[in-house]
Amino acid sequence: MKKCLSVIALALLVYSAFSSGTSRADSPYTVKTYPATCAAMNDQAAYDTSYLKSVWRIQQGEEGWLSTSRRDFPPEFGLKDRIGAKELDRLVSYLAKQGIKLMLVYPPTRGLLYPELTRASAAGYQVEDKRKAYITALQYFREKGIYVPDFASAFEHNGEPYLFFPKDAHWSQAGAIYFAKMIADEMAELGYRDKGPARFETTYSGIIANNENIQNGVEDLCDFSYPRLYVETHVTTELVSEEGLFTDEATDDPHVVLIGTSFSAQRRFNFSGYIQQFSNIPVIDYSTTGGGFTGSWINYLKSGDFEKRKPDLIIWEVPGWWQFEARYFDAILPYFQNGCDSTNTMMLASSVKLNPVSGKKNALFSTEFANVRSKNLLFDVRFSHSNIENVSVRAWFSSGLSKGFTLRREPGTTTSGRFLSNLGLDHKYVNEGIVALDVENISYRGKTSPPDKLTTDIRICRSQLPYVD
């Protein structure tokens, strides 16, 4: 309250000074100006944290906009390579066999939508070619059996309200509304829209300081900061009839699940709320801030909710700058079968004592299944310490050659000390058997110190999600 009153008092003082005719020369206050850029913004070595690396390279745009090469001007869209395509096929095929439809929210980047404001040409970005590549990626996803609205039509959305923020790679609330309407229209095409009385209501919920991620990068790099942008927020709630909540009565509602990133998870956007309002159907939101490409999927599948009730439709939101890489699917797909259990484990090493940092060579060793192709296998590594973030392991194959794998846990993903991964196709030994596994390096989340003692159970089993020929 004191801070609020001091801001009001200062505003009144400034207003009094100007309204009384005081000239700038006579004013006891000086206005300090700051540059719009600094040299560090062009120095890649200055981008020395994981966050700053994610926003390289920041450049000044027009009308107060900032752009970043990584997020506004990606070189490619959609699938990174044929291996990623194979893994996507596994996901789509598995969901289809379960009777589950998959819809993709893959909005265009700010560089595609607003090339003038982001100064795309100054970054050497060939916008027309990239727009064509983006449209091709959307069509490719459709050919894979994924439902994808016509997000490219946003290229025709000119002027205000802008669909994205000037100094933030996230969509604005106007953008959340715009794309949620597209999703609801696509849902209606699938028969997922309640044409009855309105069941949801969106209301104003206050004003907050917008956390603009590119602006934050500038503040980390330079000795100045830009003024904060304040935005209205809204919240969508379910209406209550005389008999109670509508969903208590609507037992025939399709079960719709939203998987996504901070675009979907942050309350300032109310994305899932707008989908509910426009479709008139409940949406269960499992989106995760800070979970990257994989976190929301992993949290959802680990929760057990997928097994308790299979969804009719999964809406999957992925920022437009992200490419679909095989390693992401290697981390997601094993959770559909909850890894290895007593019924399917082929190789097992229990209570193996590890160095808490450097692990152990030959933590698992067996030649019994050396003739089973590694591409059909997954490993399930469980540690006695829960707060582990990344683990480096090395798989040894029947030829005597090896491949290193990094098992990651994104900051927004719940951690329990358990890591699952397919061996997958992204290596040269897909048709060889595995004979050993080394644990090479272990890192811990945040400021967590390594424990005095650490053990692990390692299991290897077959994947239940076959590759699609």
Asked if the model's pLDDT at residue 212 lies above 60, the reply is yes
Tell me which H or E stretch contains 203.
Answer: strand 200-209
What percent of the chain has a predicted confidence (pLDDT) above 70? Answer: 90
The rounded distance, in Å, linking the Cα atoms of 173 and 329 is 30
Supply the pLDDT for residue 23.
44
| Residue 309 contacts residue 439 (beta carbons within 8 Å) | no
| Residue where the block lists tokens 């309250």 | 1
Asked if the model's pLDDT at residue 70 lies above 60, the reply is yes
- φ, ψ (nearest 5 deg) of residue 219: -65, -35
Q: Where are the alpha helices (DSSP H) in 255-304?
A: 262-265, 271-279, 295-302
Q: Give residue-wise pLDDT tens across range 366-421.
A: 999 999 999 999 999 999 999 999 999 999 999 999 999 999 888 888 878 999 99
The rounded distance, in Å, linking the Cα atoms of 4 and 217 is 27
Residues in the chain: 469
Confidence of residue 244 (pLDDT cuts 50, 70, 90): low
Asked if the model's pLDDT at residue 170 lies above 70, the reply is yes
Picking from 413, 466, 392, the residue whose alpha carbon sits closest to that of residue 91 is 466
Asked if the model's pLDDT at residue 27 lies above 60, the reply is no
Asked if the model's pLDDT at residue 8 lies above 50, the reply is no
Residues in CB range of 294: below 8 A, 6 or more apart:
328, 331, 332, 408, 410, 413
The rounded distance, in Å, linking the Cα atoms of 298 and 122 is 39
Asked if the model's pLDDT at residue 360 lies above 70, the reply is yes
Asked if the model's pLDDT at residue 4 lies above 70, the reply is no
Q: Where are the domains of the chain?
A: 68-335, 337-462
Asked if the model's pLDDT at residue 164 lies above 80, the reply is yes
Tokens of 390: 């990344």
Supply the pLDDT for residue 159.
83
- Catalytic site positions: 168, 170, 262
What does the pLDDT average to over 105-110?
Answer: 98
Confidence of residue 224 (pLDDT cuts 50, 70, 90): confident
Confidence of residue 29 (pLDDT cuts 50, 70, 90): low
Asked if the model's pLDDT at residue 323 lies above 70, the reply is yes
Supply the pLDDT for residue 80.
87
Asked if the model's pLDDT at residue 14 lies above 80, the reply is no
| Residue 387 contacts residue 415 (beta carbons within 8 Å) | yes
The rounded distance, in Å, linking the Cα atoms of 41 and 38 is 6
Lowest mean pLDDT, pick from 6-15, 284-293, 440-449: 6-15
Asked if the model's pLDDT at residue 15 lies above 50, the reply is no
Supply the pLDDT for residue 87.
95
Asked if the model's pLDDT at residue 218 lies above 80, the reply is yes
Tokens of 267: 């309350």
Q: Domain 337-462: which CATH class?
A: mainly beta
- φ, ψ (nearest 5 deg) of residue 329: -70, -35
Picking from 282, 350, 343, the residue whose alpha carbon sits closest to that of residue 312 is 282
Asked if the model's pLDDT at residue 22 lies above 50, the reply is no
Angle CA(345)–CA(348)–CA(353) in degrees, nearest 5?
150
What does the pLDDT average to over 176-199?
Answer: 97
